[in-house]
Amino acid sequence: MPERLLHPGLMAPEPAGLVRSEWSGVPKGFEVYQLGPGERTLVVKASSRDALLDAGVQDPRGLGSGPLVTRHLAGGRVRHALVSTKGEEWVLKAYRRGGLLGRWNSERYWGSSRFLDELVVAAHAERSGVATAEVLALIVERAGLGSVRAWLVTRYLHGAKPLGDYFGTPEQRAVFRAAGQVVRRMHLAGIDHHDLHLGNIMGSLEDGRAQAYIVDWDRARVLSDGAWSPYGNLSRLWRSVLKGRRKDELAELSRPVRAFIRGYFDGSPADLRETRAYIRRQAIWMSLRRVLRGDAR
Protein backbone atom coordinates (compact mmCIF):
# COMPACT_ATOMS: atom_id res chain seq x y z
CA MET A 1 0.00 0.00 0.00
CA PRO A 2 1.38 3.46 -0.79
CA GLU A 3 3.15 5.41 1.97
CA ARG A 4 0.63 8.23 1.59
CA LEU A 5 -2.14 5.82 2.59
CA LEU A 6 -0.47 3.96 5.46
CA HIS A 7 1.12 6.97 7.13
CA PRO A 8 -1.18 9.91 6.36
CA GLY A 9 -1.25 13.25 8.10
CA LEU A 10 -3.70 12.62 10.93
CA MET A 11 -6.30 15.17 11.90
CA ALA A 12 -8.97 15.31 14.57
CA PRO A 13 -10.03 12.00 16.19
CA GLU A 14 -13.46 10.63 15.36
CA PRO A 15 -15.76 8.29 17.32
CA ALA A 16 -15.90 4.49 17.08
CA GLY A 17 -12.12 4.05 17.07
CA LEU A 18 -11.69 5.92 13.78
CA VAL A 19 -9.15 8.66 13.13
CA ARG A 20 -9.76 11.24 10.42
CA SER A 21 -7.06 11.09 7.79
CA GLU A 22 -6.13 12.05 4.23
CA TRP A 23 -5.48 10.19 0.98
CA SER A 24 -4.25 12.15 -2.01
CA GLY A 25 -6.58 11.85 -4.99
CA VAL A 26 -9.78 10.98 -3.12
CA PRO A 27 -12.74 12.62 -4.93
CA LYS A 28 -14.53 15.61 -3.49
CA GLY A 29 -17.38 14.65 -1.17
CA PHE A 30 -15.57 11.66 0.37
CA GLU A 31 -13.89 11.43 3.79
CA VAL A 32 -10.95 9.24 4.80
CA TYR A 33 -10.53 7.46 8.15
CA GLN A 34 -7.98 5.11 9.70
CA LEU A 35 -8.94 2.17 11.89
CA GLY A 36 -6.06 0.95 14.04
CA PRO A 37 -2.42 1.93 13.39
CA GLY A 38 -2.79 2.11 9.61
CA GLU A 39 -4.18 -1.42 9.36
CA ARG A 40 -7.40 -0.43 7.61
CA THR A 41 -8.38 2.65 5.61
CA LEU A 42 -12.00 3.65 5.12
CA VAL A 43 -13.14 6.07 2.41
CA VAL A 44 -16.81 7.02 2.81
CA LYS A 45 -19.17 9.38 1.04
CA ALA A 46 -19.72 12.20 3.51
CA SER A 47 -23.48 12.35 2.91
CA SER A 48 -23.84 8.66 3.87
CA ARG A 49 -21.12 8.44 6.55
CA ASP A 50 -23.33 8.01 9.60
CA ALA A 51 -25.52 5.32 8.02
CA LEU A 52 -22.46 3.42 6.78
CA LEU A 53 -20.69 3.52 10.15
CA ASP A 54 -23.86 2.55 12.03
CA ALA A 55 -24.17 -0.49 9.76
CA GLY A 56 -20.56 -1.47 10.47
CA VAL A 57 -18.93 -0.82 7.10
CA GLN A 58 -15.59 -0.42 8.89
CA ASP A 59 -15.69 -4.22 9.39
CA PRO A 60 -16.51 -5.47 5.87
CA ARG A 61 -16.19 -9.15 6.75
CA GLY A 62 -18.60 -8.80 9.65
CA LEU A 63 -20.98 -6.71 7.55
CA GLY A 64 -20.90 -9.25 4.71
CA SER A 65 -21.76 -12.17 6.98
CA GLY A 66 -24.01 -10.38 9.47
CA PRO A 67 -27.76 -10.05 9.99
CA LEU A 68 -28.10 -7.06 7.65
CA VAL A 69 -27.38 -9.26 4.62
CA THR A 70 -30.67 -10.25 2.99
CA ARG A 71 -29.25 -12.27 0.09
CA HIS A 72 -26.27 -12.63 -2.24
CA LEU A 73 -26.05 -11.43 -5.82
CA ALA A 74 -24.13 -12.97 -8.70
CA GLY A 75 -21.10 -10.84 -9.47
CA GLY A 76 -18.54 -12.38 -11.78
CA ARG A 77 -15.86 -14.13 -9.73
CA VAL A 78 -17.69 -13.88 -6.40
CA ARG A 79 -21.19 -13.36 -5.04
CA HIS A 80 -21.83 -9.92 -3.55
CA ALA A 81 -23.71 -9.35 -0.29
CA LEU A 82 -26.92 -7.29 -0.46
CA VAL A 83 -27.09 -5.24 2.75
CA SER A 84 -30.40 -3.79 3.93
CA THR A 85 -30.53 -1.19 6.71
CA LYS A 86 -32.86 1.66 7.66
CA GLY A 87 -34.69 1.65 4.35
CA GLU A 88 -31.52 1.57 2.25
CA GLU A 89 -29.94 -1.28 0.28
CA TRP A 90 -26.27 -1.52 -0.61
CA VAL A 91 -24.09 -4.00 -2.47
CA LEU A 92 -20.87 -5.05 -0.71
CA LYS A 93 -18.29 -6.21 -3.26
CA ALA A 94 -15.07 -7.97 -2.24
CA TYR A 95 -12.32 -7.52 -4.82
CA ARG A 96 -11.15 -10.85 -6.24
CA ARG A 97 -8.45 -11.69 -8.76
CA GLY A 98 -9.08 -13.73 -11.87
CA GLY A 99 -6.81 -15.58 -14.25
CA LEU A 100 -3.89 -17.79 -13.32
CA LEU A 101 -2.78 -15.58 -10.44
CA GLY A 102 -6.23 -15.77 -8.89
CA ARG A 103 -5.99 -19.56 -8.59
CA TRP A 104 -3.49 -19.30 -5.77
CA ASN A 105 -4.06 -15.73 -4.59
CA SER A 106 -7.61 -14.56 -5.17
CA GLU A 107 -7.98 -11.72 -2.67
CA ARG A 108 -4.59 -10.05 -2.16
CA TYR A 109 -3.30 -7.17 -4.26
CA TRP A 110 0.00 -5.31 -4.23
CA GLY A 111 -0.73 -1.60 -4.25
CA SER A 112 -4.00 0.23 -3.67
CA SER A 113 -4.07 2.59 -6.66
CA ARG A 114 -6.41 0.27 -8.60
CA PHE A 115 -9.17 0.67 -6.01
CA LEU A 116 -8.78 4.43 -5.73
CA ASP A 117 -8.80 4.69 -9.53
CA GLU A 118 -12.17 2.92 -9.67
CA LEU A 119 -13.56 5.25 -7.00
CA VAL A 120 -12.30 8.31 -8.90
CA VAL A 121 -13.82 7.17 -12.21
CA ALA A 122 -17.13 6.26 -10.54
CA ALA A 123 -17.37 9.69 -8.91
CA HIS A 124 -16.49 11.41 -12.21
CA ALA A 125 -19.14 9.36 -14.03
CA GLU A 126 -21.79 10.31 -11.48
CA ARG A 127 -20.89 14.01 -11.70
CA SER A 128 -20.99 13.80 -15.51
CA GLY A 129 -24.53 12.43 -15.57
CA VAL A 130 -23.65 8.84 -16.46
CA ALA A 131 -26.29 6.52 -14.98
CA THR A 132 -24.44 4.29 -12.53
CA ALA A 133 -24.63 2.68 -9.12
CA GLU A 134 -23.64 5.34 -6.58
CA VAL A 135 -20.36 4.46 -4.84
CA LEU A 136 -20.64 4.92 -1.07
CA ALA A 137 -17.47 3.47 0.46
CA LEU A 138 -14.10 1.87 -0.19
CA ILE A 139 -12.31 -0.18 2.46
CA VAL A 140 -8.63 -1.14 2.07
CA GLU A 141 -6.91 -3.43 4.59
CA ARG A 142 -3.31 -4.56 5.06
CA ALA A 143 -2.89 -8.27 4.33
CA GLY A 144 0.81 -8.79 5.05
CA LEU A 145 3.98 -8.77 2.93
CA GLY A 146 2.99 -5.42 1.46
CA SER A 147 -0.32 -6.69 0.09
CA VAL A 148 -3.86 -5.42 0.69
CA ARG A 149 -7.47 -6.60 0.50
CA ALA A 150 -10.30 -4.30 -0.54
CA TRP A 151 -14.09 -3.96 -0.58
CA LEU A 152 -16.41 -1.54 -2.37
CA VAL A 153 -19.92 -0.50 -1.28
CA THR A 154 -22.41 0.78 -3.86
CA ARG A 155 -26.08 1.63 -3.79
CA TYR A 156 -28.31 -1.22 -5.00
CA LEU A 157 -30.19 -0.69 -8.27
CA HIS A 158 -33.70 -2.07 -7.76
CA GLY A 159 -35.06 -4.08 -10.66
CA ALA A 160 -31.87 -3.86 -12.73
CA LYS A 161 -30.61 -6.96 -14.57
CA PRO A 162 -27.50 -7.61 -16.67
CA LEU A 163 -27.93 -6.42 -20.24
CA GLY A 164 -27.49 -9.96 -21.58
CA ASP A 165 -30.66 -11.06 -19.76
CA TYR A 166 -32.75 -8.95 -22.14
CA PHE A 167 -31.86 -10.87 -25.31
CA GLY A 168 -35.04 -12.30 -26.84
CA THR A 169 -37.39 -10.40 -24.51
CA PRO A 170 -40.08 -7.89 -25.54
CA GLU A 171 -38.04 -5.18 -23.79
CA GLN A 172 -34.75 -5.85 -25.59
CA ARG A 173 -35.05 -3.05 -28.15
CA ALA A 174 -35.80 -0.32 -25.60
CA VAL A 175 -33.20 -1.52 -23.09
CA PHE A 176 -30.43 -1.94 -25.66
CA ARG A 177 -31.15 1.52 -27.03
CA ALA A 178 -30.86 2.90 -23.49
CA ALA A 179 -27.58 0.99 -23.14
CA GLY A 180 -26.24 2.67 -26.26
CA GLN A 181 -27.18 6.05 -24.83
CA VAL A 182 -25.43 5.47 -21.48
CA VAL A 183 -22.26 4.20 -23.19
CA ARG A 184 -22.26 7.29 -25.41
CA ARG A 185 -22.63 9.52 -22.34
CA MET A 186 -19.72 7.66 -20.73
CA HIS A 187 -17.54 8.37 -23.76
CA LEU A 188 -18.59 12.02 -23.86
CA ALA A 189 -17.45 12.23 -20.23
CA GLY A 190 -13.98 11.14 -21.37
CA ILE A 191 -14.13 7.67 -19.80
CA ASP A 192 -12.25 4.88 -21.56
CA HIS A 193 -13.51 1.51 -20.25
CA HIS A 194 -11.11 -1.31 -21.16
CA ASP A 195 -13.39 -4.03 -19.80
CA LEU A 196 -16.82 -3.02 -21.07
CA HIS A 197 -19.00 -6.13 -21.49
CA LEU A 198 -22.58 -7.35 -21.09
CA GLY A 199 -22.07 -8.10 -17.40
CA ASN A 200 -21.26 -4.56 -16.29
CA ILE A 201 -24.13 -2.86 -18.10
CA MET A 202 -27.45 -3.22 -16.31
CA GLY A 203 -30.93 -2.52 -17.63
CA SER A 204 -34.31 -1.90 -16.06
CA LEU A 205 -37.79 -0.63 -16.81
CA GLU A 206 -39.00 2.23 -14.62
CA ASP A 207 -42.63 3.25 -15.12
CA GLY A 208 -42.49 1.69 -18.57
CA ARG A 209 -39.32 3.59 -19.51
CA ALA A 210 -36.08 1.74 -20.24
CA GLN A 211 -33.02 2.72 -18.23
CA ALA A 212 -29.43 1.44 -18.46
CA TYR A 213 -26.53 1.74 -15.99
CA ILE A 214 -22.81 1.06 -16.00
CA VAL A 215 -21.97 -0.61 -12.69
CA ASP A 216 -18.30 -1.62 -12.71
CA TRP A 217 -15.49 0.87 -13.32
CA ASP A 218 -12.54 -1.44 -12.73
CA ARG A 219 -9.88 -0.80 -15.42
CA ALA A 220 -11.68 2.34 -16.61
CA ARG A 221 -9.80 5.63 -17.02
CA VAL A 222 -10.63 9.30 -17.50
CA LEU A 223 -8.64 10.55 -20.50
CA SER A 224 -8.39 13.78 -22.44
CA ASP A 225 -9.92 14.19 -25.89
CA GLY A 226 -7.84 12.72 -28.68
CA ALA A 227 -5.91 10.39 -26.35
CA TRP A 228 -8.07 7.36 -27.09
CA SER A 229 -10.78 5.95 -29.36
CA PRO A 230 -14.18 4.64 -28.21
CA TYR A 231 -14.07 1.91 -30.85
CA GLY A 232 -11.89 -0.25 -28.63
CA ASN A 233 -14.60 -0.22 -25.95
CA LEU A 234 -17.31 -1.02 -28.48
CA SER A 235 -15.24 -3.85 -29.94
CA ARG A 236 -14.75 -5.35 -26.46
CA LEU A 237 -18.49 -5.14 -25.84
CA TRP A 238 -19.18 -6.76 -29.23
CA ARG A 239 -16.88 -9.68 -28.36
CA SER A 240 -18.84 -10.27 -25.16
CA VAL A 241 -22.06 -10.34 -27.21
CA LEU A 242 -20.64 -13.01 -29.54
CA LYS A 243 -19.01 -15.09 -26.83
CA GLY A 244 -20.29 -18.67 -26.77
CA ARG A 245 -22.77 -18.17 -29.61
CA ARG A 246 -23.14 -20.45 -32.61
CA LYS A 247 -23.01 -19.12 -36.15
CA ASP A 248 -26.73 -19.78 -36.67
CA GLU A 249 -27.54 -17.61 -33.63
CA LEU A 250 -25.92 -14.44 -34.97
CA ALA A 251 -28.99 -13.37 -36.96
CA GLU A 252 -30.94 -13.15 -33.69
CA LEU A 253 -28.56 -10.43 -32.49
CA SER A 254 -29.34 -7.98 -35.27
CA ARG A 255 -32.28 -6.24 -33.58
CA PRO A 256 -30.71 -5.57 -30.16
CA VAL A 257 -27.39 -4.61 -31.75
CA ARG A 258 -29.11 -2.16 -34.11
CA ALA A 259 -31.02 -0.71 -31.16
CA PHE A 260 -27.77 -0.22 -29.23
CA ILE A 261 -26.10 1.50 -32.19
CA ARG A 262 -29.09 3.79 -32.72
CA GLY A 263 -28.98 4.72 -29.05
CA TYR A 264 -25.25 5.38 -29.20
CA PHE A 265 -25.38 7.51 -32.36
CA ASP A 266 -28.83 9.00 -31.88
CA GLY A 267 -29.07 12.06 -34.12
CA SER A 268 -25.87 11.41 -36.10
CA PRO A 269 -26.63 9.40 -39.30
CA ALA A 270 -23.05 9.62 -40.61
CA ASP A 271 -21.57 8.20 -37.42
CA LEU A 272 -24.29 5.56 -37.39
CA ARG A 273 -23.34 4.35 -40.89
CA GLU A 274 -19.64 4.33 -39.99
CA THR A 275 -20.23 2.29 -36.85
CA ARG A 276 -22.45 -0.21 -38.65
CA ALA A 277 -19.67 -0.79 -41.17
CA TYR A 278 -17.08 -1.13 -38.39
CA ILE A 279 -19.11 -3.72 -36.47
CA ARG A 280 -19.84 -5.61 -39.70
CA ARG A 281 -16.09 -5.85 -40.36
CA GLN A 282 -15.50 -7.01 -36.80
CA ALA A 283 -18.17 -9.72 -37.17
CA ILE A 284 -16.58 -10.99 -40.39
CA TRP A 285 -13.12 -11.01 -38.81
CA MET A 286 -14.29 -12.88 -35.70
CA SER A 287 -16.15 -15.45 -37.79
CA LEU A 288 -13.00 -15.98 -39.86
CA ARG A 289 -10.91 -16.47 -36.73
CA ARG A 290 -13.36 -19.10 -35.50
CA VAL A 291 -13.06 -20.98 -38.78
CA LEU A 292 -9.26 -20.80 -38.66
CA ARG A 293 -9.27 -22.14 -35.11
CA GLY A 294 -11.57 -24.94 -36.19
CA ASP A 295 -14.22 -24.20 -33.58
CA ALA A 296 -17.02 -22.84 -35.81
CA ARG A 297 -20.31 -24.50 -34.87
Domain coordinates in residue numbering, the chain: 3-155, 161-293
For range 28-36, the mean pLDDT: 92
The residue among 62, 84, 212, 71 whose CA lies nearest residue 151 is 62
pLDDT tens digit string along 68-118? 999 999 866 668 999 999 999 999 999 987 555 545 555 778 777 889 999
How many angstroms separate the most distant Cα atoms in the chain?
65
Instruction: Give the orientation angle of helix 172-188 with respect to helix 231-242, to 10 degrees.
Output: 150
- The CATH code belonging to domain 161-293 is 1.10.510.10
Is pTM, for the whole model, over 0.85? Answer: no
User: Residues 189, 30, 114, 81: is their CA dihedral positive or negative?
Assistant: negative
How many other CB atoms sit within 10 Å of the CB of residue 278? 15
Average pLDDT score, the chain: 84
